[in-house]
A and B are shown apart, each in its own frame.
Chain A
Amino acid sequence: MKTEQAVSYVAIAVIAVSLFFIGAELTGFATYNDTAEVNVTIDASAGISFSTAILDFGSGAVTPGHSAVLDSNAGTGTYWSGSNTSSQLVLENIGNVNLTLQLKTNNTATQFIGGTNPLVQAKVTNKSEEPGACTGTNAFDDYAEINTTLQTACGGAFAYETAYDQIDINFKLTIPSNALGTRTTLITAVGTDA
């Protein structure tokens, strides 16, 4: 009988220790009304998305002996027989944290446009009704060549607040007269937690 008791106690001790390691907790029935708090922790979530992801300059011919210059910001096209384009890419911070922003293309200007001395330039600005969306160092403050390496556009912050979380990305293409064909290139945007 003594042995059985000892084994029982040891077994109970093992059960208790095992439950502790498994993570079981004691619970109880509330016998009176009380208040409680509800807490929620929202983790940082970073995300950017092009709300306008296509910028089509249309079709046209370059005046012989000249290079055409198509400017989406000004909505102009010089030495260009096609219609002018005044739209732009629109990028939105869809997360809940400020980001820094970098941009690049997947092709060089020569690969994209072809011909002799082509040029692709980008300009990053706050969307007109959303000042403060892009702050800090901006390599594309005015039109600047965009290439295949990441360049900082919003070095301070690309803000996430709904009132100012969108930026415009305009492009200026310099198309030589010996370029030809349908040309496209990919613009890549990378956001990093500021």
Chain B
Amino acid sequence: MNFRPPKKENIYILKPILRNIMENKKRVTVLVVIALILAVTAIALNTTDSSSEVPTTTQANTAPTGAVIGVTILPNEVEDKGAEVPGAQA
């Protein structure tokens, strides 16, 4: 097989074209990666519904609140009438 190396002039012409093709491929790759990331994010958010609004309205009912009433009831005083009678013995 007779392999002929490319002429120098041809290399100088092809180089910018190849570079251009490579840069285009890079751009497309970056775009595809960004698109994939955003698509996955959008799907995840919609699946978990975490992007939806969270209601902040409080339920207008109160929690029960309490107070205390108290009283202390003492024993009745027992009157010892016998003690008042002179000479009386219990």
Give the interface of A toward B (CB within 8 A).
1, 4, 7-8, 10-12, 14-15, 17-19, 21-23, 43-50, 52-64, 70, 81-82, 89, 91, 95, 97, 99, 113, 169, 171, 173, 175, 177, 179-193
Contact for A61 among B27, B42, B60, B75, CB less than 8 A: B75
User: A91 contacts which chain B residues (CB < 8 A)?
Assistant: 65, 67
Shortest B80–chain A CB gap in Å is 14
10 A-B pairs besides A18-B35, A18-B38, A45-B60 with CB distance below 8 A are A49-B65, A57-B71, A59-B71, A62-B73, A70-B71, A91-B67, A95-B60, A188-B64, A189-B65, A193-B61
Q: Could you mark each residue 45-62 of chain B with 1 if its beta carbon is under 8 Å from any beta carbon of chain A, else 0?
A: 110000100001111111
* Tally of B interface residues using CB under 8 Å: 38
B5 contacts the other chain (Cβ, under 8 Å)?
Answer: no
Whether the pair B45, A21 counts as a contact (CB closer than 8 A) is yes
A46 partner, pick from B36, B45, B61, B69, beta carbons under 8 A? B61
**Is B9 at the interface (CB under 8 A from chain A)?**
no
Contact B73 A12 (CB under 8 A): no
B68 interface residue (CB < 8 Å to A) = yes
CA distance A21 to B52 in the complex (A): 11
- Contacting pair A61 B64 (CB below 8 A): no
B70 interfacial contact with A, CB 8 Å: yes
Main secondary structure of the interface of B (DSSP, over half): mixed
B45 → chain A, closest Cβ, in Å?
A: 6
Is B66 a contact of A186 with CB atoms below 8 Å?
yes
> What is the distance, in angstroms, from A109's C-beta to the closest C-beta of chain B?
12
Contact, CB under 8 Å: A15 / B35: yes
Shortest Cβ gap from A97 to chain B (Å): 5
Across the interface, do B72 and A181 meet the contact criterion of CB distance under 8 Å? yes
Q: Which of A11, A97, A99, A183 contacts B70 (CB 8 A)?
A: A183
- CB pair B73 A22 closer than 8 Å: no
Question: Cβ of B57: which chain A residues have Cβ within 8 Å of it?
Answer: 43-44
Query: Does the CB pair B73–A180 fall under 8 Å?
Result: yes
- Contacting residues, chain B, for A63 (C-beta < 8 A): 76
CB-defined A-B contacts under 8 Å, sample of 30: A7-B32, A11-B31, A14-B39, A19-B38, A19-B42, A21-B42, A21-B45, A22-B41, A23-B51, A45-B58, A46-B58, A49-B65, A50-B66, A55-B67, A55-B69, A56-B71, A57-B69, A59-B73, A59-B74, A60-B73, A62-B76, A91-B65, A95-B62, A171-B69, A181-B72, A186-B68, A187-B66, A189-B67, A191-B61, A193-B61
